[in-house]
Amino acid sequence: MTNKRRLFWDDEHKKAGTKMLTYTELVCDGIERGTHVWLLVFMPLFFVSPVSVGACVWGFHHDRSLELEILCSVNILQFIFIALCLDEIIKWPWLVVCVPLWILMSFLCLVVLYYIVWSVLFLRSMNVIAEQRRTHITMAISWMTIVVPLLTFEILLVHRLDVHNTFSYISIFVPLWLSMITLMATTFRQKGGNHWWFGICKDFCQFLLEIFPFVKETPIPEPPKIAPIPGKYVIPPPKLNIDMLD
């Protein structure tokens, strides 16, 4: 029964990826032509979001990482508001349309505040080892570098869409790029890993070492040991005798 459930959710994960690809193609086509109804463009996300909620529950119960499903499940209300606003069914300003996003960002800000408080407590405590202190400080700096630029990007973008500023979109997206670069850098420090990257079905480092065997560390050969010659007596070195003056 467990294998059937695992195969079922693996199949659902593939379907979620297919729906996300369909949504991306519809968005690109809708931006180029401008003839699609945005509610229909967002329809793949509307279908995948309820399934993602069940997938997240199953993933938490079986200790599996489902980043795509978490993203879809927590933003389902935001997807609906954006589609209704683009179709001009609702006439709300973008600041109000993004209320679900502000709620989500408030939780992330609480996470940042949590790490900052614990880092300060660990710095002032003398009973904590240096490795734990360094880990909490690194986590606090990483979360600040991810969340603060991301929140800055969202605020600037919403004000730009509501015509409250005239910043160029390149300057608006700079904080997002900084947040994404930091997020990519922090993923290399996480313990564990996904052994199923790109369908290779093995550890990624082992896969690379099999492709590039010259990267492997070659062991240094030990010098040969010379066996003693039987029947030959070796004179021991003379003992050092130091006379101490009275």
The predicted structure's pLDDT at residue 51: 74
The predicted structure's pLDDT at residue 206: 75
Evaluate whether 59 touches 69 at the Cβ level (below 8 Å): yes
The predicted structure's pLDDT at residue 190: 60
First to last CA, the chain: 90
Q: What is the pLDDT along the chain (246 residues), one digit of tens a residue?
A: 455 555 555 565 566 667 777 777 778 877 777 777 888 888 888 887 777 777 667 666 666 666 666 777 778 888 889 888 888 888 899 999 999 999 989 988 998 898 888 888 877 777 767 777 787 788 888 888 989 999 999 999 999 998 888 889 899 999 999 998 988 888 776 655 454 555 555 666 777 777 777 766 665 666 666 555 555 555 666 665 555 555
Q: Quote the tokens at residue 245.
A: 């003056």
The answer for residues whose C-beta is within 8 angstroms of residue 9's C-beta and 6 or more apart is: 55, 58, 59
* pTM assigned to the model: 0.66
Amino acid at 30: G
Please report, for residues 152, 190, 191, 202, 220, the alpha-carbon distance to residue 209 in angstroms, rounded to integers and kept in the order given: 41, 20, 19, 12, 19
The predicted structure's pLDDT at residue 172: 92
Evaluate whether 45 touches 83 at the Cβ level (below 8 Å): no
The predicted structure's pLDDT at residue 38: 84
The predicted structure's pLDDT at residue 1: 44
Other residues' Cβ atoms within 10 Å of the Cβ of residue 145? 18
* Cα 140–Cα 74–Cα 47 angle in degrees, nearest 5: 150
Other residues' Cβ atoms within 10 Å of the Cβ of residue 199? 5
- Going by the DSSP 8-state scheme, the letter that residue 34 receives in this structure is -
Evaluate whether 100 touches 76 at the Cβ level (below 8 Å): no
Amino acid at 50: P
